[in-house]
Structure 1
Amino acid sequence: MPKLVFQNNPQLNSLMKKHCVELHQTGQFSRFFLDYIEGKKELEPFYSHAPKLESFKNAIEQKTFSAEHRKGLVDALHSQYANQEVSYAVSSNIEALASERTFTVTTGHQLNLFTGPLYFIYKIVSTINLAKKLAKTYPDYKFVPVYWMATEDHDFDEINYFKLDGKKYQWNSEQTGAVGDFELDKTFKEFLKSVSFAPEVFLDAYASSKTLSEAARKYVNSLFGEEGLLVVDGDDAKLKREFTEVILSDLFEHKPFEKATEATDALEELGYSSQIFPREVNFFYLDKGVRERIEKMESGFGVVNTELRFTEQEMKALIEKHPERFSPNVVLRPLYQEVILPNLAYLGGPAEVVYWLQLKGVFDHFEVPFPVLLPRNFALILNEKVQRKMEQLNWSFEDLFVDLEHWKKTFVKAEASMDIELKKQKEVISALFDTKGKEAAHLEKTLENAFEAGKVRSLKIIDQMATKLRKAEERRLNTQIERACCIQELVKPGGSPQERVVNMMQFYLSNPELISELLDCFDPLDFRMMVLSDESR
């Protein structure tokens, strides 16, 4: 049983001011994603519920989840939280899952070091706030927010670092297999010394844990436990046993491949690019230090990059005895979540949301209700320095998302002390050469071509002069341009949106109430970019 602790952590009033910008104005989202949240009719066959609050009434009615499955989930969570202190809210939510009137809303993410990019936090805050909104809208039911730890992922290079103040902090390890099982060994302890500035919530979690998954559970629980967030690890033998029917179907009948391919082809016919690529077999073989693809072979099955081989009978026996050794890939992980959770909604990033649309046929085949598919909240946090520079440039919040090069050209042209394009001069020279070329052609026909060549050379010289004028004006306006570049580096560090690059500590270290303020600001059903600024200025 988890150890129960009581904490008093009242939510403070937000010091953040929120301004919302339409997503299509930011230039950060695909047409595929925007068409989904805008409700384009052609996409309706690929989901069950529109991303709206009123959709949850039908989702609740359609979600069936047996008492036996609920008991198995509660038992698994008790095991996963064993020997860990939890808040009353977490303990209550675990027990509540035994009731047929309790449902989950879920987000998931990899085990990035120290949470990785900001959007890790945004996903969880969005999910917590959705549970709260649903509780107010449907008071006869209870809604539990869930963070699904992607402990089985094996791409260590994707999660072994975080970025802070432009610097990359990285842990290098020779360990292989599922990252959740990575031991926090001597190399990690050395890495931990380099981030001694990190808040205690992280340092304590890592220092007191044996594995990466254990540490992630601890710091997520410390940050969000008071909100009742449950952390679920799908790498669990009890939970995997409920997925054996799908494992067998995938390996021996290839039904998920068939259904996902049908949807993928249909979406591509509508002009939408595939986000994921289904395989005949959509499982990895999972064991200590190993997570490799299973492939169908003439004589049965093989595990890529190993010498492991199984006959069909051996594989069926292995599925029955050790379902935990079968790890779903991106095609079947969503289905696995919905099989083991009484779940109503999944909240994901823009790429996640659209790849789920390739999977509805898979859900239908296994008669598993497709959840309400929602985007997480999107946000941009401004610091005082950037707000001051925005005021100096007279920038609006929408201006934060302009293309910098386009803005610079437009700005320099508007502020230039003279016509830096030399447009009138080009027109005069062009007309002069054209007129004189025609006159000269009466003397000798080849002279018209000579004048045309002279015009081209002259216009090139004028272009060169225009470039020099533009660069001179840029030097004169350098202060304003540098301000814009500084703003751009906060909005899109290294060319990528802030929330996909910067770690939460960029703001959390100076504002320990960051998460409380985000909880105040975020609305999980408002599909706009939130620009958050300091209201105290």
Structure 2
Amino acid sequence: MEIIKQLADNKGTFIERYTHQDDVLSQYRYDVTKDESYKLRMNNKSNGLESELSKVIEKYMSKFELSEKQRENINLLAEGNKVVIGGQQAGLFVSPMYTIHKIISIIILAKEQSTKLGTEIIPVFWIAGEDHDFDEVNHINVFTAENNVHKIKYYPTEEVTDSVSVLNFEQEALKFTIDRFITSLTETHSTKSIYKLLNNLPENWTDHFQYIIHTLFKDYGLLLIDSQNKEVRALETDILVWMFDHHEAINQAFRNGQEKMESLIGERQILTETNVHLFMSFEGKRQLLKFQDGKYKLSKSDATFTKAEIRAKIQVAPHLFSNNVVTRPLMEEMLFNTLAFVGGPSEIKYWGELKQVFDFAKVEMPPVVPRMRITYTNDKLLKDMRRFNITIDSLYHNGIEKFQKDFLGSKENRLLLSQMQETIANLEVDYEAMQLLDIPMETKQLLQDNLNYHKRQFEYFKKRYHQDIKRHHDIDFKALNAIGNMMNPSGGLQERMMHPLQFINTYGFNILDEVIDNIDNYTFDHTILKP
């Protein structure tokens, strides 16, 4: 495996500002680029929940066989060792690739800081099982043999309205999805093993996600927790009650912090109308709580509750309640002894909106570390890029469309198109002269329609002419499309489209170990790797 390039963020982009001591740092506690930040963070006091939390995690993870390193880390967690933590929604078959990159980031940062700080730092991945936005997690993308992106969805017979943690697969729909996915792969020595893995999945949605991650990363000692796990919720009871009791102050702190962050970056990341910032599961639906007209109302029900009723429900059935995006980071920090949080660019931004929430709660915001971004290439793509004189920097700066347009232009007969354009220009002059004749308005309109017809015909000619060029140079345009779709799909990062199991199918089950082994130092740059 070879690191081909490490791309720094363009000047003025959020991550570039965040990692270069910009004024946005005023909304965070630590400068994550400095080793001193992590040393200082080690002085942060324990929250006292580590012993109970370690038992909850051990019980949760024991449904699958724990590795020796995982057992060791559970014991270290109980003793108060700090963690590097990050989380993600439970995407279908662990989709997409940036979920894997977030886990790799957590593992590498924990390992690096363990060495620098001289103490074991534990990697932890938080599965956002309380999430109910099923459309965000119910599909996968695969690259076809023609390097186009193809979406495969899981289709349940009933609408999903509650947290995905309570969702079980419908076996017929799951089998259909697995078969579609497997048949979309190019058969390799890993395909049968992937098929076997998918056919042994647990029936619960978040359990299937946990199972795949556990299988891939257990030897690194990665600890996993589902935020919707009932025993986690029980451990959170007092915190949930405190959040509910103080929701007005939390909401005001959030609004103030969001306003300050918006003044720095020109946008809002968190869009919510709630003022309680907690969800409640009611009538089979996960619903936002809102305080209005002296009552607590739900977003998808006519039911109303008093403060005493909600408070009592939290104490008796905490598993019915969950955090929204405003209170989730705070809950995470009040549960775990965190050295650092690892998140994507959007997460880093919305944590910046929560500084005043942390301040109100008297909880120190940890170092908020951008996850690593990785794109994979291969010899054929690199060879084609050289052939078309496309550098990695120029591809991400300009997009593939520029190079497609340039190549098309290089194959045009410029004289032909120039003479056609000249013909249209002469027609416009002639028709303009005819418009000055003493003729009825109806005739003038007829002349204009006739000119427009000739212009449309010229545009039609150019379109068909370009199609002919593309047909004659089909191999070249397919190569350009492959570069764009594989390296910069839809103008975005590969990791937002690529599925990790397709990556494993191509390179084998050890490929993620190779990725971890070949990244010597944690980086904020966009890394281009050639397996």
> What's the TM-score, normalizing by structure 1?
0.81
Assess if the C-alpha contact under 8 Å between 1:353 and 1:373 holds in 2.
yes
Match status 1:159 vs 2:137: yes
Return closer, same or farther for 1:221/1:125 CA change in 2, 3 Å cut-off: same
Q: Which residue of structure 1 lines up, in the alignment, with residue 167 of structure 2? A: 182
Match status 1:57 vs 2:50: no
Q: Which residue of structure 1 lines up, in the alignment, with residue 96 of structure 2? A: 117
Q: Which residue of structure 2 lines up, in the alignment, with residue 36 of structure 1? A: 18
Q: Which residue of structure 1 lines up, in the alignment, with residue 55 of structure 2? A: 75
Measure, in 1, the Cα distance between the counterparts of 2:170 and 2:228: 21
Assess if the C-alpha contact under 8 Å between 1:33 and 1:354 holds in 2.
no
Match status 1:329 vs 2:318: no
Assess if the C-alpha contact under 8 Å between 1:121 and 1:504 holds in 2.
yes
* Paired residue type of 2:512: I
Return closer, same or farther for 1:252/1:132 CA change in 2, 3 Å cut-off: closer
Q: Which residue of structure 2 lines up, in the alignment, with residue 371 of structure 1? A: 366
Measure, in 2, the Cα distance between the counterparts of 1:276 and 1:157: 19
Out of 96, 106, 122, the position equivalent to 2:76 is 96
Q: How many residues align?
A: 493
Q: Which residue of structure 2 lines up, in the alignment, with residue 443 of structure 1? A: none
* Runs of at least 5 residues in structure 1 that lack an aligned partner in the other structure: 1-14, 438-452
Secondary structure, in 3 states, of the residue corresponding to 2:526? strand
Q: Which residue of structure 1 lines up, in the alignment, with residue 486 of structure 2? A: 490
Match status 1:22 vs 2:8: yes
* Runs of at least 5 residues in structure 2 that lack an aligned partner in the other structure: 145-149, 183-190, 434-447
Aligned ranges for residues 239-278 of structure 1 at < 5 Å? 239-240=232-233, 241-242=235-236, 244-245=238-239, 247-250=241-244, 253-278=247-272
Assess if the C-alpha contact under 8 Å between 1:18 and 1:521 holds in 2.
no
Q: Which residue of structure 1 lines up, in the alignment, with residue 443 of structure 2? A: none
Measure, in 1, the Cα distance between the counterparts of 2:476 and 2:180: 35
Aligned-pair identity in percent equals: 23
- Deviation per CA, 1:121-156: give whole Å up to 9, x if none: 1110111000111011111x2101111001110111
Q: Which residue of structure 1 lines up, in the alignment, with residue 205 of structure 2? A: 212
Measure, in 2, the Cα distance between the counterparts of 1:194 and 1:471: 36
Out of 217, 225, 230, the position equivalent to 2:223 is 230
Secondary structure, in 3 states, of the residue corresponding to 1:23? coil
Measure, in 2, the Cα distance between the counterparts of 1:89 and 1:202: 27
Assess if the C-alpha contact under 8 Å between 1:53 and 1:525 holds in 2.
no
Assess if the C-alpha contact under 8 Å between 1:282 and 1:332 holds in 2.
yes
Q: How much has 1:502 moved relative to structure 2?
A: 1.6
Return closer, same or farther for 1:228/1:257 CA change in 2, 3 Å cut-off: same
Assess if the C-alpha contact under 8 Å between 1:413 and 1:420 holds in 2.
no
Q: Which residue of structure 2 lines up, in the alignment, with residue 172 of structure 1? A: 156
* Paired residue type of 1:493: P
Assess if the C-alpha contact under 8 Å between 1:23 and 1:528 holds in 2.
yes
Secondary structure, in 3 states, of the residue corresponding to 2:101? helix
Secondary structure, in 3 states, of the residue corresponding to 1:368? coil
Match status 1:341 vs 2:336: yes
Assess if the C-alpha contact under 8 Å between 2:260 and 2:353 holds in 1.
no
- Deviation per CA, 1:15-38: give whole Å up to 9, x if none: 34432222329xxxx933432233
Q: How much has 1:511 moved relative to structure 2?
A: 1.4
Q: How much has 1:299 moved relative to structure 2?
A: 5.1
Q: How much has 1:230 moved relative to structure 2?
A: 0.4
Q: How much has 1:89 moved relative to structure 2?
A: 0.4
Q: How much has 1:362 moved relative to structure 2?
A: 0.7
Q: How much has 1:246 moved relative to structure 2?
A: 5.1
Secondary structure, in 3 states, of the residue corresponding to 1:264? helix
